[in-house]
Structure 1
Amino acid sequence: MSLRFNSDGTFRVLQMADIQDGPDVREDTIRLIEGAIRKAHPDLIVLTGDQIRGYDPAYIDTFLRRRGEQPGTHVRAVTEIEAKIRGIKRHPIAKTLTKSQPSDERWMIDGIGTDSPKLVKSAGRNGSASKLESWAEAINRATAASLLDETRQKVRDTFAAFLGPALESRIPFAATYGNHDFQCGILADEQDDLYREFAGCMNPVAGSSPLALEPGTFALPIEASDGSGRITMSVMMVNSGDYADTADAGDGNGRQSVTEYAKYAANSRGWDLADSDGYGTPSPEAVEWLKRVQRELGRRNGDGQAVPAIAFQHIPPQEFYDCLREVPAYTPNAVEGAREFAGHCYVLDRDVCRPGSRLGEAIGCADVNVGEVDALREAGGYFALFCGHDHKNSFVGHVHDIDLGYAPTCGFECYGPKSRFRGIRLFEFREDNPMAYVTRMLTWGDLVGRYSSNELRVFFEDHCVTDLIGVRNELRRPQVSATLLGAGAVTCGAIGYAVRGLLRKSQ
């Protein structure tokens, strides 16, 4: 399947960011997707990561905080709490394995099929293991595989739900990955295979051509409308990694050093979020590929020239902070930076940002700059890089000779802005000048209405805080500070009235 500009010289793309849901995708999320498709009539849909809520209790038996872990180990405390609230119980065998995880192959499981399986030790190779233990070992392996099979089906169900409107409308789609997708236990390469089970999937097999580097990193050329086959522009999908390592840890894509992993494993509940070491980055191979692929597209066109290109990924690079302006901490609606940018407060720089831009939270970039934006500039042709990841942000700024922008969450199962600001970003390109594109948000407020079906939940997600930075950011919101001041005044008045009454009675 090839992509081509329409006969009127237009090509429309919808960016869906951070659906972040379990197998039962929220109806409001589906309604928003349906409304955006009806409104835009897109030629392509790009999914920019965190389609899967990997920490959802549905995946509790196969959950991964980090790639390379034993599935189901070190489950987040918030996931366990949510599982109890929803009445989801862990599989007995999964629970037993994650408690002990013996490295000695002589350990097996006894009590398969009961509510209290336990680890037992065989007599070893030179001894005589019981038939029960040998049978238990075989059943355990089958059960572990079965748990992953169940998760694969749940991932399929999730895909089928949010892809439903696109499949019904026969719209091609492409997907890359975020920091939560893999946490369900099914890694990106397998998820790529699952996506390709659905009609219209544009994800190529990794390594199948110079345009396909790895799962989530590939180019989608868009040909001219005249049928000549000339590539007029390209959509680049980039896998931006998931979680970073400490300085001595390795490749920066989620694998920890032995020392750091031991610390993490010993106090996994204390390190409840896998981003304790910060977020990941595109691999060095991906950064180099962004330059190399432009040469390949130029070769295919026969002129060696870079083609106009827009890149999509999940986690933003540090240059996104250059779209902001530092302000005093008491500035209304300012947000405090995260990690390397902590202690500094920011608002949008209106001189570089497009009208309608919104800043709702800190930019959750990696602690290191791997030179991705520099690579885009060096390669030529790239005119924009759009991300997701930070659910409350929807700004577009022009810095470093390139547009840097966001789409906010389009999901209703995760944290984010008010209902009316959740949405899907529309891009409209013209064949005669793709760089002069038009983009705007298609929001719930415009497509559906002001409120969602569960506005109490959305209110909590909009004001949810997990650290002191979040508390300070909330206090900078005028409505929040005014409400707190009003409540404080009423409380003080009530206390004063009660004290005055007590004094009168004592006289």
Structure 2
Amino acid sequence: MTLKFNNGKFRILMIADTQEGAKVNSDTIKLIEASLDRSQPDLVIYSGDQIWGKHSFKGDANKVKEVLSILVEPVVKRKIPFAICFGNHDRQVGLTNEEQFEIYKTFEGFVGESDDGVDGVGNHCFEIKDGDEVKFLLYTIDSHSNLKVGYDCVHENQIDWYRAIRDSYEQKLGKVVPSVVIQHIPVCEVFDLLKKVNFTKRGSVRGFRTHEGEYFVLKKDRVNKEAFMKESPADPQVNSGEFDAMCEKGDVKGIYFGHDHNNSFNGEINGVDVGYTQGAGFNVYGPGMDRGTRVIDLFTDGHIETYDMRYKDIVGRKVDNPLKYIIMQLCPTNTFDAVTRIVKAFVTIAVILVIILLLTMFLK
């Protein structure tokens, strides 16, 4: 299928982290439906962690297909082409990403491809044309999964794959082609949009793993006005040089990712717009009514524009499953967060017990 500009613009809707189990939450579908109707995109990208839960799926291919079909049905029935990236949770259902990709290929409108000879699944470069002329390229990249500690990075042969494609278009057309990248896990350079602060700073988030013991807030002068960050970026353990490679020739105009559900912001780093898309799923932790999706507009003159759409603005403030919503709002964002909360709870209890003991002794 040929992807083409319409009156000088091509619109992508990015849906991140639906992360649904065996029973899809209707509020997730309402958000997707409203996002599609509001944005009228030319292409939809599900950017990873569409599903999760080994106990929910137990490797049952029929169940996986059933849930995926529910998640993509709003797109399919509107006859909008779509593609996917994989995240760190998809494979945990008991089917490999390769097996899941074959399932996606059975859905009407799926235009994703997976290039051979490069690590991961779903790595592909899409041409977006104005007439017969290639005006933009879209790269979907597999950012891989969990390591024993932390997260993997985009691999060296994927970076070489990107460079080869970029350079082949430059050689053929005599110029680099403006491009945009969508993947699941962020690039390490996203921390350039953050300011390190004291832990007492209001609104600060605590870093972990590669940023253990550090606290951060957004640099408000570097990000979009409506930006929010409610958890620390969970970047790769190793910086593989992906971002530096994509800055070499000025072709990449934007890099967008999900992964950390409670973050939605974007800002320029070395001439590239770098940004988070918040989680869309209601069966997993998320930023409350700020769960949402991202619109990425590409223009034939080579520039891009982007903004997010939030549940509270395009659906409303009521949910079909209020109890589940409350539970998900109380859930920790990760294991580190869970341990931190437990430690804080024990410290609080200990302090209360000491105060009670001292009062008891004093009042005797």
Normalization by structure 1: what TM-score?
0.65
Q: Distance in 2 between matches of 1:49 and 1:379?
A: 27
Q: Measure how far apart 1:397 and its partner are.
A: 1.7
Instruction: Find the counterpart in structure 2 of residue 451 from structure 1.
Output: 318
Q: Classify 1:277/1:214 alpha carbon distance in 2 versus 1 (closer, same or farther; 3 Å).
A: closer
Aligned with residue 421 of structure 1, among 290, 310, 326: 290
Q: Classify 1:453/1:416 alpha carbon distance in 2 versus 1 (closer, same or farther; 3 Å).
A: same
Aligned with residue 161 of structure 1, among 70, 90, 99: 70
Q: Measure how far apart 1:205 and its partner are.
A: 4.6
| Amino acid aligned to 1:425 | R
Q: Classify 1:326/1:34 alpha carbon distance in 2 versus 1 (closer, same or farther; 3 Å).
A: same
Question: Retained in 2: the 8 A contact 1:22–1:58?
Answer: yes
Q: Classify 1:205/1:217 alpha carbon distance in 2 versus 1 (closer, same or farther; 3 Å).
A: closer
Q: Measure how far apart 1:401 and its partner are.
A: 2.2
Q: Measure how far apart 1:468 and its partner are.
A: 6.1
Instruction: Find the counterpart in structure 2 of residue 461 from structure 1.
Output: 328
Q: Measure how far apart 1:454 and its partner are.
A: 2.5
| Amino acid aligned to 2:320 | S
Give runs of ≥4 in structure 1 deviating > 3 Å: 466-476
Question: Retained in 2: the 8 A contact 1:310–1:382?
Answer: yes
Question: Retained in 2: the 8 A contact 1:206–1:214?
Answer: no
Q: Distance in 2 between matches of 1:403 and 1:352?
A: 10
Q: Distance in 2 between matches of 1:467 and 1:185?
A: 21
| Amino acid aligned to 1:394 | S
Question: The residue matched to 1:378 in structure 2 has which SS?
Answer: coil
**Structure 1, unpaired ranges of 5+:** 63-150, 245-275, 477-484, 486-490
1:199 maps onto 2:108 in alignment: yes
Q: Distance in 2 between matches of 1:374 and 1:21?
A: 34
Q: Classify 1:379/1:156 alpha carbon distance in 2 versus 1 (closer, same or farther; 3 Å).
A: farther
| Amino acid aligned to 2:263 | N
Instruction: Find the counterpart in structure 2 of residue 4 from structure 1.
Output: 4
Q: Classify 1:468/1:14 alpha carbon distance in 2 versus 1 (closer, same or farther; 3 Å).
A: closer
Q: Distance in 2 between matches of 1:379 and 1:474?
A: 48
| Amino acid aligned to 1:292 | A
Q: Classify 1:161/1:168 alpha carbon distance in 2 versus 1 (closer, same or farther; 3 Å).
A: same
Aligned with residue 407 of structure 1, among 277, 298, 307: 277
| Amino acid aligned to 1:443 | R
Map 1:92-131 to 2 at 5 A: none
Question: Retained in 1: the 8 A contact 2:54–2:92?
Answer: no
Q: Distance in 2 between matches of 1:450 and 1:410?
A: 15
Aligned with residue 179 of structure 1, among 74, 81, 88: 88
| Amino acid aligned to 2:122 | G
Q: Distance in 2 between matches of 1:398 and 1:355?
A: 13
Q: Distance in 2 between matches of 1:464 and 1:342?
A: 21
| Amino acid aligned to 2:159 | V
Question: The residue matched to 1:446 in structure 2 has which SS?
Answer: helix
Question: Retained in 1: the 8 A contact 2:266–2:276?
Answer: yes
Question: The residue matched to 2:247 in structure 1 has which SS?
Answer: helix
Q: Distance in 2 between matches of 1:372 and 1:459?
A: 38
Q: Distance in 2 between matches of 1:381 and 1:317?
A: 17
Moved more, 191-200 or 384-393: 191-200
1:441 maps onto 2:344 in alignment: no
Q: When you count strand as a share of all residues, which structure comes out higher?
A: 2
| Amino acid aligned to 1:450 | R
Query: Which one has the largest radius of gyration?
Result: 1
Q: Classify 1:467/1:199 alpha carbon distance in 2 versus 1 (closer, same or farther; 3 Å).
A: closer
Instruction: Find the counterpart in structure 1 of residue 135 from structure 2.
Output: 232
**Structure 2, unpaired ranges of 5+:** none
1:59 maps onto 2:57 in alignment: yes
Map 1:326-475 to 2 at 5 A: 326-418=196-288, 420-431=289-300, 433-435=301-303, 437-465=304-332, 469=337
* CA offset digits 1:456-493 (Å, max 9, x no partner): 333332332355656769999xxxxxxxx9xxxxx99x
Question: Retained in 1: the 8 A contact 2:114–2:123?
Answer: no
Q: Measure how far apart 1:447 and its partner are.
A: 1.2
Question: Retained in 2: the 8 A contact 1:15–1:48?
Answer: yes
Question: Retained in 1: the 8 A contact 2:208–2:336?
Answer: no
Q: Distance in 1 between matches of 2:330 and 2:342?
A: 7
Q: Distance in 2 between matches of 1:23 and 1:457?
A: 15
Q: Measure how far apart 1:214 and its partner are.
A: 5.4
Question: The residue matched to 2:248 in structure 1 has which SS?
Answer: helix
Instruction: Find the counterpart in structure 2 of residue 215 from structure 1.
Output: 121
Question: Retained in 1: the 8 A contact 2:16–2:49?
Answer: yes
Q: Distance in 2 between matches of 1:416 and 1:471?
A: 18
Question: The residue matched to 1:203 in structure 2 has which SS?
Answer: coil
* CA offset digits 1:96-139 (Å, max 9, x no partner): xxxxxxxxxxxxxxxxxxxxxxxxxxxxxxxxxxxxxxxxxxxx
Q: Measure how far apart 1:451 and its partner are.
A: 3.2
Instruction: Find the counterpart in structure 1 of residue 168 from structure 2.
Output: 296
Question: Retained in 1: the 8 A contact 2:113–2:123?
Answer: no
Q: Classify 1:383/1:172 alpha carbon distance in 2 versus 1 (closer, same or farther; 3 Å).
A: same
Q: Distance in 2 between matches of 1:305 and 1:186?
A: 41
Q: Distance in 1 between matches of 2:79 and 2:331?
A: 37
Question: Retained in 1: the 8 A contact 2:136–2:178?
Answer: yes
Question: The residue matched to 1:277 in structure 2 has which SS?
Answer: coil
- Report % sequence identity: 31
Instruction: Find the counterpart in structure 2 of residue 256 from structure 1.
Output: none
Question: Retained in 1: the 8 A contact 2:120–2:144?
Answer: no
